[in-house]
């Protein structure tokens, strides 16, 4: 069983000494997965178990458990290296779009300048005077005059390098304007279950459906909503038990989320009243960087159009192919962000609708008179076991006989 990275991060953030309830509350991972994951992690890294007098289990891991896993498993080492290489490669891909944009603009406008200068000098009776203006295109005969292309490359290369070094953030901004920055709600499910687990934990292991509804989608209608079928995934994930009040109302009891370490209970996480999805943004680039990028996209396409008109149909096959690629690239720089702008607006509208629905569920929770009677009934199941060192009756760190002798003393 491969260790869950999210679980390992939670163990580190909670101080390497945790209960299942603490990790579930912190991450929102399925309770059974947490229990199995912590047991496997302790076994693989030489961790220890501590058992309280009430039968609760505390998992104690070494601060260097990640290094132990890396030494033990080749696959984890490969994954660590792959993640590092992927992050570097992805960063290079991101800045490459900015480099390509600057290169395209440089090539296009240098070509326009070269054609213009050639036409001016040709019209003044230079060496090209007898060729009827056809020498204007000689510069694009890439199998011919090497001296011209060498001069252009040599004089322009240092300028391009200077821009790359000084405007690295801008190069990243070009990619951001083109393709965005990913889904801002990629961690939505993790946050959803973490918020629910944290709410249950703060209420000492009990909850009612109306308190959970502001974190959920697809609550159903009719009988599904009335009988709170939307609570089934929550009960499954956290080993919950439905309880029926004398008036026939449902409340929910989660015994496995009632044990915690004392240090964790003293600094509880903030309870979010409902699940709020983050708004979609067109780009994380600054407004100035966005405007500059869009201006350069337009300037690139205009330059390609001008260069194509100047070349007409007289360019060689190779140059014609390059112009086709440049044209597709220039159009893509305009079309992709334009389409993405409307797509982001649509996604943001859907996010606002879902947030509004969840906020309305929160208002119902605050207005219903029946809610208080359900909460009063639920409180009889509320308990919280704050585990301290005095509650530990057994630990795998010492042999059983030594522990028994200490207890007798």
Note the pLDDT tens digit of each residue in 25-73: 888 888 888 888 888 888 888 888 888 777 778 888 888 888 887 777 6
Radius of gyration of the chain (CA): 33
Asked if 104 and 300 touch (Cβ cutoff 8 Å), the reply is yes
Note the pLDDT tens digit of each residue in 299-350: 999 998 888 888 876 667 777 788 888 889 899 999 999 999 999 999 999 9
pLDDT-derived band at 74, boundaries 50, 70, 90: low
Q: Is the dihedral of CA 194, 199, 202, 206 positive or negative?
A: negative
Query: How is residue 305 written in tokens?
Result: 């159009």
Residue 261 main-chain phi, psi, to 5 deg:
-80, 150
Pairing of strands 259-261, 385-387: parallel
Q: For a pLDDT cut of 70, what percent of the chain falls above it?
A: 77
Q: How far lies 111's CA from each of 103, 106, 162, 319, 368, in Å?
A: 12, 8, 21, 12, 73
Q: How many CA atoms lie within 13 A of 317 on its CB side?
A: 0
Q: CATH fold of 5-74+389-408, please?
A: Arc Repressor Mutant, subunit A (1.10.10)
The dihedral over CA atoms of 317, 318, 324, 325, expressed in degrees to the nearest 10, equals: 160
Pairing of strands 48-52, 241-244: unpaired
pTM (global) more than 0.85:
no
124 or 10, which is more confident: 10
Cβ neighbours of residue 323 under 8 Å, at least 6 residues apart? 304, 307, 308, 311, 315
pLDDT-derived band at 185, boundaries 50, 70, 90: very high
Dmax of the chain from CA atoms? Answer: 114
Domain boundaries, the chain: 5-74+389-408, 93-183+280-352, 195-277+370-385
130 or 294, which is more confident: 294
156-182 exposure pattern, b = at least 16 Cβ within 10 A, e = fewer: eeeeeeebeeebeebbbbbbbbbebee
């Amino acid at each position: 069983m491969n260790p869950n990275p999210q679980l390992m991060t939670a163990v580190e953030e909670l101080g390497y000494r945790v209960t299942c309830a603490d990790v579930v509350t912190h991450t929102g991972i399925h309770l059974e997965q947490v229990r199995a994951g912590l047991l496997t992690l302790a076994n693989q890294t030489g961790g220890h178990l501590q058992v309280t007098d009430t039968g609760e289990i505390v998992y104690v891991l070494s601060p260097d458990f990640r290094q132990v896993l890396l030494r033990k498993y080749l696959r984890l080492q490969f994954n660590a290296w792959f993640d590092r290489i992927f992050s570097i490669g992805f960063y290079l891909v991101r800045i490459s779009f900015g480099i390509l944009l600057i290169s395209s603009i440089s090539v296009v406008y240098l070509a326009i300048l070269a054609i213009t200068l050639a036409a001016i000098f040709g019209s003044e009776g230079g060496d090209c005077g007898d060729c009827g203006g056809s020498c204007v295109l000689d510069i694009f005969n890439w199998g011919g005059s090497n001296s011209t292309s060498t001069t252009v490359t040599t004089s322009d290369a240092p300028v391009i390098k200077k821009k790359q070094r000084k405007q690295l953030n801008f190069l990243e901004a070009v990619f951001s304007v083109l393709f965005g920055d990913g889904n801002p709600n990629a961690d939505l499910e993790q946050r959803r279950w973490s918020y629910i687990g944290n709410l249950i934990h703060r209420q000492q292991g009990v909850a009612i459906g109306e308190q959970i509804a502001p974190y959920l989608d697809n609550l159903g209608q009719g009988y599904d909503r009335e009988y709170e079928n939307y609570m089934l995934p929550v009960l499954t994930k956290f080993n919950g038990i439905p309880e029926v009040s004398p008036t026939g109302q449902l409340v929910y009891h989660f015994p496995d989320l009632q044990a915690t370490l004392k240090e964790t209970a003293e600094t509880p996480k903030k309870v979010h009243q409902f699940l709020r999805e983050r708004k979609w943004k067109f780009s994380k680039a600054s407004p100035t960087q966005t405007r500059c990028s869009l201006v350069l996209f337009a300037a690139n396409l205009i330059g390609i159009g001008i260069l194509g008109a100047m070349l007409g149909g007289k360019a060689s096959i190779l140059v014609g192919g390059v112009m086709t690629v440049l044209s597709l690239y220039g159009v893509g720089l305009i079309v992709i962000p334009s389409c993405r702008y409307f797509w982001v607006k649509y996604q943001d509208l859907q996010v606002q609708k879902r947030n509004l629905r969840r906020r309305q569920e929160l208002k119902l929770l605050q207005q219903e008179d029946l809610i208080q009677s359900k909460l009063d009934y639920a409180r009889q199941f509320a308990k919280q076991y704050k585990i301290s060192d005095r509650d530990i009756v057994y630990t795998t760190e010492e042999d059983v006989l030594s522990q028994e002798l200490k207890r007798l003393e």
